[in-house]
A and B are shown apart, each in its own frame.
Chain A
Amino acid sequence: MVTVYYEKRHHQGRERFFIITTICVLLSLAAAVIFSYLYPYDGLDIGEVIPFLTDIDGRNLILRVIIGVKAYFLPGILAICISTLFGTALGIAAGGIWTGIISKVLNFFARTIMDVLESFPKYLIILLMITIIPHPNFYQIVIVLGIINSAKLGKMIMEKIISLKKREFIEATEALGIKKYDIILRHILFYNCSPLYLVQASVIMAEVILIEIGLSYIGSVSNWGLGVTIREPNPSWGNILVMAANHFSNAWWMSVIPLLAVIGNILFFYWVSDQINKRYGVTAQVDRL
């Protein structure tokens, strides 16, 4: 009895810790985003080099890291929206909740499209997009990223619909005469798939950060303008890290602050996704697809 009581208290404590930490980090992220859009920064505050505080041109490193948040934040949100939209459509089409020949054809095509999207290596398709778009920018790239990532969400929603459509409460709603789209939107997507969306959103956000850094690097080594991310003097975590990496041997500390920001952010998104997984058992579904 006592053990059960302590376990319950321990569980409640962890639950509270998760909620408070998530709210605090999200609030500080929101503050950083608002600050980055409101602060008039031109990236030309060149001055004296101070270890741990400035970059190689003497610009305020911490300020640049904070303003660098906007390089990934809105693109990340866009990728999440695109992925949610396409993933939901694909998942519903592949879930086969309707009957009839059109539904079966749709089902087959949706599954195939998800298989196709999953087999595209991301950097290769991004390079193709950079090549064929006249003046590519990072927003166009994240649209592609969102579409490719929609396959995973689509498969999760498909599995959820397949497992739920035979449950009693869905049969009951059908017997009550509730319309199919209402069953899908309210009873399946809203009440049962919310954790899937949260997991997908946090994973995509982490991925957009890494892709932005990777593309900044590709842009820096390219001789023919493959750079699609924010360019100097405006800061992004990618170009701050690329610049710092070039001066690693004489100013290693320049990499530390942006690297900590990157690792901290990505770990936070992974942690949120893990916590939601633990509570709702999403991982088991994701990895078994």
Chain B
Amino acid sequence: MSKAAGISKVLVEEVTRFVFVLFIASIMVFTLVYASPKGTVLNKKDSWMTQYSSWMQKIVLHQDMGDTIYQEKVNALVSSKAKNSFFLITLAILVSISLSLLWVWLFYRLEPYPIFHGMVKVIVYGISVTPVFLAGYLFILVSSEKFHIKLTMDMAEGIRYYLIPGLLLGVGDGFLGEMIRHIQTEIKGITSENYMLMAKAKGASFWKHIRYDLIIQTLRIISSRATMLISGTVIIEIIFNLDGIGNLAFNAAETRDVNLLLGILILSVFVVGLVNLVNRMVAIWIDPRLKANG
């Protein structure tokens, strides 16, 4: 079987799995809302089956997730906010990966000095587990009171305004610590492989041999941490008043807009599933042996 035929077979399998995961997720969240006593969207007169099938029909056939309590289309509203959150999450991933790589480099440099190494490790992990809202408050206080930096809501300033939230999302609530642990394990795993030892012994380029593994591992890290990042946007966007899905979810919860929350949740599951799908497909494209491992 050619490589393309093998990939297309896996693609079909993965897409089927993705659709099935979405289907089960939709059943779970819908049942949760249906079973709740506060059915603001769902009335208890119709059966679960009738309501679920009409809800799904609207989503699948008309891409319509219903209306918010302010009579706006849920899917239009969510997709308009999603790009800001996407920008924030991308920044957070870049910040987090850069800092983790810096830490791994530092880790190998400091290994001969165990006390110093231990101290730096505690400081880095300590900063990482600082509650993100407190770190956000601190940043706002320092930037506005000490350095007189005005944090505006102007998207034209884009990267400048999103840089601090991106940094906090990529570092806070234990995210950087998890990332460091993950990258350290992966790099240790790759460098201890026999082919790497052979390449090192022959004096061949380290990066030339590691580059494909690095792409696979980076994608794996991003896909495994996607939910954590989407979840983290809620607190970050509330603190910095960013106009993304995290803030939208908070406002939806405040106004008890169950329909909007359902839309945000389904979209998040869709995005996470898509990221996982892309991760698996790219990994299999680069290394077809991964197919056998599942």
Number of interface residues of B (CB under 8 A): 61
Least Cβ distance of A203 to chain B in Å? 9
B-contact 0/1 string along A242-261, CB 8 Å cutoff: 10010011000001000100
**Cβ-defined contact, A128 with B189, below 8 A:** no
Which of B21, B257, B268 has the most chain A CB within a 10 Å cutoff? B21
Contact call A120/B227, Cβ cutoff below 8 A? yes
> Can you give 21 contacting A-B residue pairs, CB < 8 Å?
A116-B269, A118-B272, A119-B25, A121-B272, A123-B235, A124-B249, A124-B265, A127-B253, A127-B261, A128-B262, A131-B252, A131-B253, A207-B174, A210-B131, A213-B133, A214-B235, A217-B238, A223-B254, A224-B254, A248-B141, A263-B126
Of the candidate stretches B26-34, B57-65, B96-104, the one touching chain A is: B26-34
- Check if A283 sits within 8 Å of B185, measured CB to CB: yes
| Cross-chain contact B258 with A287 (CB below 8 angstroms) | no
Q: Return B140 CB to nearest CB of chain A, in Å.
A: 10
Judging by beta carbons under 8 Å apart, are A226 and B253 in contact?
yes
Q: Which of A118, A130, A241, A287 contacts B185 (CB 8 A)?
A: A287
Q: List the B side residues contacting A213 at CB < 8 Å.
A: 131, 133
A248 close to B268 (CB less than 8 A): no
The main secondary structure of chain A at its interface with chain B is helix
Chain B nearest CB, measured from A210 CB (Å): 5
Question: B293 → chain A, closest Cβ, in Å?
Answer: 9
Decide: B37 and A134 in contact? CB cutoff 8 A: yes
With the chains together, A227 CA to B189 CA distance in Å? 44
Given contacts A115-B21, A122-B228, A242-B133, 18 further A-B contacts (CB under 8 A): A116-B21, A124-B234, A127-B253, A129-B32, A133-B36, A206-B174, A207-B174, A210-B131, A213-B131, A213-B133, A218-B235, A245-B137, A263-B126, A266-B129, A267-B129, A284-B185, A287-B182, A287-B185
With beta carbons under 8 angstroms apart, the residue of A116, A124, A207 that contacts B230 is A124
- Cβ proximity bits B182-204 to A, threshold 8 Å, 1 near / 0 not: 10011001000000000000000
Q: B245: nearest residue on chain A (CB-CB)?
A: A124
CA distance A255 to B246 in the complex (A): 26
Whether, in the assembled complex, A185 has its beta carbon less than 8 Å from a beta carbon of chain B, the answer is no
Q: Does B177 lie within 8 Å of A270, measured CB to CB?
A: yes
Q: Does A21 contact B (CB under 8 A)?
A: no
Is the CB–CB distance between A127 and B252 below 8 Å? yes
- Identify the 4 closest CB pairs spanning chains A and B, nearest first: A132-B36, A121-B231, A119-B272, A123-B234
Cα A214 to Cα B268 with chains together (Å) = 20
| A270 contacts B125, C-beta separation under 8 Å | yes
Determine the distance from Cα of A224 to Cα of B252 in the docked complex, in whole angstroms. 11
Chain B residues, CB < 8 A from A131: 38, 252-253, 256-258, 261
B137 touches A124 (CB 8 A): no
A: interface residue count bin: 35 or more
Docked pose: A141 CA to B127 CA in angstroms: 26
List of B residues within 8 angstroms of A270 by Cβ:
125, 129, 174, 177
In this complex, the member of A121, A213, A289 whose beta carbon has the largest number of chain B beta carbons within 10 angstroms is A121
Q: How far is the CA of A11 from the CA of B105 in the complex (A)?
A: 25
B41, closest chain A residue (CB) = A132
Is B227 a contact of A121 with CB atoms below 8 Å?
Answer: yes
Q: Say whether A121 contacts B134, CB under 8 Å.
A: no
State in angstroms the CA–CA spacing of A134 and B134 once bound together. Answer: 29
Q: Is the CB of A263 within 8 A of B129?
A: yes
* Distance A63 CA – B145 CA, assembled complex (angstroms): 32
CA distance A268 to B238 in the complex (A): 29
Residue numbers in A under 8 Å from B181 (CB-CB): 274, 283, 287
Asked whether B273 is an interface residue with its Cβ less than 8 Å from the other chain, the reply is yes
In the assembled complex, A153 has its CB within 8 A of some CB on chain B: no
B-facing mask of A96-138, CB < 8 A → 1, else 0?
A: 0000000000000000110110111111110111111110000
Flag B212-251 by CB within 8 Å of A: 1 or 0 each: 0000000000001001101110110010000000100110
Which residues of B156-187 have CB atoms within 8 Å of chain A's CB atoms? 173-174, 177, 181-182, 185-186
For B255, list chain A residues within 8 Å (CB). Answer: 224
Instruction: Point out the residue from A133, A248, A249, A262 that lies within 8 Å of B129, measured CB to CB.
Output: A262
The yes or no answer to B122 lying at the interface (CB within 8 A) is yes
In the complex, whether B286 has a CB less than 8 A from a CB of chain A is no
- Contacts A116-B25, A134-B38, A241-B134: A226 and B129 contacting too (C-beta < 8 A)? no
Contact (Cβ within 8 A) A132 B33: yes
Residues from chain A with Cβ under 8 Å of B131 in the complex: 210, 213-214, 217, 241, 259, 262
Find residues 110-126 in chain B having any chain A CB closer than 8 Å to their own CB: 122, 125-126
Pair B29/A128 contact, Cβ less than 8 Å: yes
Docked pose: A218 CA to B262 CA in angstroms:
19
Is the CB of A222 closer than 8 A to any CB of chain B? yes
Q: Is B79 an interface residue when CB atoms closer than 8 A count as contact?
A: no
A30, CB-defined interface residue at 8 Å: no
Known A116-B28, A217-B235, A267-B122; judge A284-B189 contact (CB<8 A). yes
